[in-house]
Amino acid sequence: MSRETETTMFWWPARVLHWLMAAMILAMLFVGAGLVASVSQRHAWLLALHKPLGIAILLLALLRLALRLWRRPPPLPHELGPALRLAAHASHWLLYALMLAMPLIGWAMLSAGGYPVELGAGLRLPPIAPFDPSWFAALRWLHRSLAYALFALVLAHLGAALYHGLIRRDGVLRSMTWRQRAPVATQDAPD
């Protein structure tokens, strides 16, 4: 890989994790919506899918955050004003916060409700919160509220990606795909 590509493209492990996690988070949002909308036999199946998927997202988010801190992302185009740069940075750090908080809050919620977090194949996670029905109710509300916030943020992220890829055509979207980004004057960028 050329030095120019290195400075205009996200590192390939970051790109792989980005797209893998995007698919997992979208799946999780639909599974979560199915959980609150279903009281049928599907509920148990969706819950059995929701728990390990949430823990997988937590682990991959930790890995992704470590990679981001280890290897800086490519800078944003210089033409973006300070407000757009701030919005990009803030939204990306908020995405990281939600990718970490959502699974931890879900795990704590189940622990407070006395429900095991089973990942399949006999693997069960220890509780991370004491049994307390009032904590269960509060954490359940928080988990649901943050899910709506995550959904809104994912939509905003998708909108921003399309804005960069289809309207500005400034290479920001390409930097997260497998097509080399055209060199541009730059400033710091988020992951």
Confidence of residue 188 (pLDDT cuts 50, 70, 90): low
The two tokens of residue 31 are: 């599974």
Residue with tokens 């943020």, as numbered in its chain: 153
Is the pLDDT confidence value at 120 over 90?
no
Share of the chain above pLDDT 90, in %: 62
Position 2 scores a pLDDT of 45
Question: Among the ranges 26-35, 75-84, 152-161, 178-187, which has the highest mean pLDDT value?
Answer: 152-161
Strand 186-187 to 76-77 pairing:
antiparallel
Is the pLDDT confidence value at 92 over 60?
yes
Confidence of residue 182 (pLDDT cuts 50, 70, 90): low
Position 101 scores a pLDDT of 97
Nearest to 14 by CA among 159, 172, 175, 149: 175
The rounded mean pLDDT for the chain is 88
